[in-house]
Every structure is written in structure tokens, then in C-alpha cells.
Structure 1
């Protein structure tokens, strides 16, 4: 069973909010976000390879990674501001192709019982134009594909 991504981006706001349920315990979902070898298996759309050059997953830590395909590469970086195991991540997110357009991202991990969990997120963009650019870039399709890959990973944990 594939659970649907619910992405909401109200007009004229800086925020995008989403939820996605998973058929896995919250601890497994959290580990898939915390451990770089697992992150590499699911983050991003199909057809991209991922190289992580920095992954210091703790409060006040940072990350840097690169997605690549036949068209080139796309680099991203950020800071993990707050990390609470199995509960919450607050981080920044920046695409090197759009410098100074840093998003603030909140991730909440919710236990739904019966071995199921929910990821709830909010991304705050620096301006409406940056938010609209993300939405028009195919971000929703990339998130959907990434979470489908995450479903496959979680089945094997």
C-alpha cells in the first residue's frame, strides 16, 4: 500500500505544509532520516544518485550532499538546529543553485500505533517567489517519489 503525500501551500504565504503516513514504526522512520546510509537510499526523486559529503546529525550539526544525474549535479546544505530522537527535527535547507534562499524546515514524527507513523512537515521560505519556484520545479513529484522509495526501505528494516 502506498500512502499519499498531502502537500498544502496556501496562496500568498511563505509556508508549505505536508503530511505523509508510513507503514512502519516511528523509530524506523526517524532512523531513515538520521542515518546517512539510509538517507542516501530514499531522499530525492528516482534517477538521481546521492553523495553525502557532510552529515553531522545532532543539534547544531550540519549536512551537505549532492544529487547527480546525466544532466549534471545539484548540491544542498543546511544546519540541524534541533534534533530530538523519534520526535522532531528543525533544520535549514539551501540549494546551492539559489544561494541565500534558505528554508527553515520543521519535521514532526508521530506514532499512530499498530506499527504505523506519520511525518508532518512545514517548510518556511524566505519569500513567496522562492516558495513558488520550489512548487513549480517539480518538488511535489520528487517528494512523492522519495517517499515511495522510503516505503521500500522501511519494509526491509
Structure 2
């Protein structure tokens, strides 16, 4: 049996536990004014261009890079389960296109366990993205989220 199309072989995963209740973490992920405070690389300003948080709704964020270039991230929400899961298509131009991102939330008292999956079209693309710094890049986003939640 071939595993070429097996999602686990095409998925990169990061996990975090945030010292914040689920409702607060969910709000940080779903409200534009909060997203702009933590999404993206540390020290860079994020502009939420579009954020229609419904299944089928579009999202688009813009990040001004130090070299003057603009980094665009966009996608379409494909699944939203209140306080449990957010799934969307995603493009992070010019580096990554055509992936699915999954944000999974699990309440644990005043803490929230969080799992982030990024599913790629092929195993080769997945490996390429890992080598390009997936864990450091997204890890820095979630470090910022953790700092934002503690404010």
C-alpha cells in the first residue's frame, strides 16, 4: 500500500499549551483586532485586510517586510466548530501555497491545549516546507500568541 497520499506524511504539526482559558484563546484567533496583535513574525506589523469568519468566508493578512516587500497570507474557512476547531485553505505568498491549516483547541481548566496542523499536497512539498523553517516560523507566531494572551 502506498503512503504518498497519506495525510500524516504530508502534515507538519506544532503543539502548545497556553496559560489562558479556551474562550480567550478562541477570541484571539477569531477577532481581527486580536489577530493583528500576534499573527506574523515578531517585530512586524500585520494588517488584517479581510476576515470573514464563517465557513466559506475569506481571510487575508498583509505583512510589511523589513526589505520593503509585502508578504500576503490568505485563505478560505472550510470548517469551524465553535471552541474546538478552525480549518481553512491557506496561501503564504511567496513561500507557501495550496495548504490546509487546522487549529485545534482543547480546554483544560484555565489552560488551553492547542494543536496546529499544516497539510501539504505532497510529501515532497511538506519536507521542503519543513526545511524552509516551518517550525521556527510558526513557532514564533505561537510564541507571540502566548505573550499576547498573558497581557
Give the TM-score range, shorter chain.
0.7 to 0.9
* Residue number among 87, 90, 95 corresponding to 2:92 in the alignment: 95
Aligned length, in residue pairs: 143
Q: Mark the CA change 1:152 to 1:98 in structure 2 (over 3 Å): closer, same or farther.
A: closer
Which runs of 5 or more structure 1 residues have no equivalent in the other structure? Answer: 1-11
Q: Is the 8 A contact 1:45 1:141 kept in 2?
A: no
Q: Is the 8 A contact 2:21 2:111 kept in 1?
A: yes
CA deviation profile, 1:74-120 (whole Å, cap 9, x unmatched): 11110011112211111111123257x3111222110112x001111
Answering whether residue 149 of structure 2 is matched by residue 129 of structure 1, we say no
Normalising by structure 2, we get a TM-score of: 0.86
**C-alpha separation between the residues in 2 aligned to 1:129 and 1:155?**
37
Which runs of 5 or more structure 2 residues have no equivalent in the other structure? Answer: 1-7
1:33 aligned partner? 29
2:79 aligned partner? 82
Answering whether residue 117 of structure 2 is matched by residue 119 of structure 1, we say no
SS in 2 for 1:13: helix
2:4 aligned partner? none
